[in-house]
Amino acid sequence: MIWRASIMELIGSFALTFASVKYVSNSMTSVGTTGNTGGIKVQAGQPLLEIEAAKMIFVLSFFTWAGFAVSGAHFNPVVSISMFMARKIDPITTVFYLIFQAVGSLGAGALQYFLTDVIQSKYSRPAGSKLTAWHYMLPFLETSTTGVLRGSLLEGIGTFFFVVVYQTMMIDKRAPKGMNCFAVGCAYGLSSLTIGIVTGACINPFIYLLPRIMTFELEDLLAYILGPLIGAVGGAVYYRVFIEVPVNDLVAKTATPFRSIMMTSS
């Protein structure tokens, strides 16, 4: 059973990482109308936020729906860590999930790296940049306006809200049926719309780290490791202390009419 669930985690992590690679930019500029490329010169920069948000909403919602019954549909190490903290998965399952998520993200990153070699060769980087085009096709920190500390804070906030939504919709039996998977995807998409212009809204350490093994450009690693981990721990603690336990106590102690309404809604 654990192997089947782990393979589902690999597939979902592969899909999310594959989709996180950016093919378009918000600074695309027309330089003519000749040739098969349509005269488009791709310049470095974060992509159109609406495109990235919609893409991640669809991908994560679909794979959460497809994989929830098999593995719980984590597809993210911070989700697995938060679920371990919530005592929903055991240590062995957590380790298996993390390993297979890493393999999926690494495989997707390597495949995209080789599939996009032509796009990378046409990518126009910022003046004076010594980083490769691959760096700008992945989530990266806009260091010209945001330092590592602020980047960590933004990634942590995004991860906090994502984990709270995930646990509320996927663990809590009172969550609306049929909307939980879409809500998880929307939580990820909301991060893209809010912090995506600054950090790329990664909220997944594997999506940042493993595809970059191709070029070892890890200048912003601390922001994408520290922020999501702190956010995940905070989200798990918040759900446990302020949502799960108080509501359970309230349902158990209140009058029969209220209790019957709560039980009916669950």
CATH number of the domain within which 132 lies? 1.20.1080.10
Max Cα–Cα distance, the chain, nearest Å: 75
Q: What is the pLDDT of residue 144?
A: 60
Task: Quickly count: other Cβ atoms within 10 Å of residue 19's Cβ.
Answer: 18
Domain count, the chain: 1
Crossing angle (nearest 10°) for helices 91-115 and 2-20: 40
Nearest to 16 by CA among 69, 70, 78: 78
Query: pTM here?
Result: 0.82
For residues 33-44, one letter each, b for 16 or more C-beta atoms within 10 angstroms of the residue's C-beta and e for the rest, the string is: eeeeeeeeebeb
Q: Strand pairing partners for 123?
A: 42
Nearest to 156 by CA among 192, 197, 201: 201
Encoding tokens for residue 171? 């663990």
Task: Give pLDDT < 70 ranges for the chain.
Answer: 24-48, 124, 143-145, 246-266
Range of the domain at 42: 2-265
d(CA 135, CA 146): 17
SS3 category, 45: coil
**Is residue 79 a contact partner of residue 69, using CB atoms and an 8 Å limit?**
no
Q: What is the pLDDT of residue 38?
A: 37
Crossing angle (nearest 10°) for helices 148-170 and 221-238: 40
**Is residue 113 a contact partner of residue 135, using CB atoms and an 8 Å limit?**
no
Find all residues with CB under 8 Å of 57, minimum gap 6, and list them: 182, 185, 186, 188, 189
Residue at token pair 């060769």: 121
Residue at token pair 């980087």: 125
Nearest to 236 by CA among 44, 101, 124, 76: 76
pLDDT tens-place string over residues 62-82: 999 999 999 999 999 999 999
The dihedrals phi and psi of 38, each to the nearest 5 degrees, come to 75, 15
Q: Which amino acid is at 209?
A: L
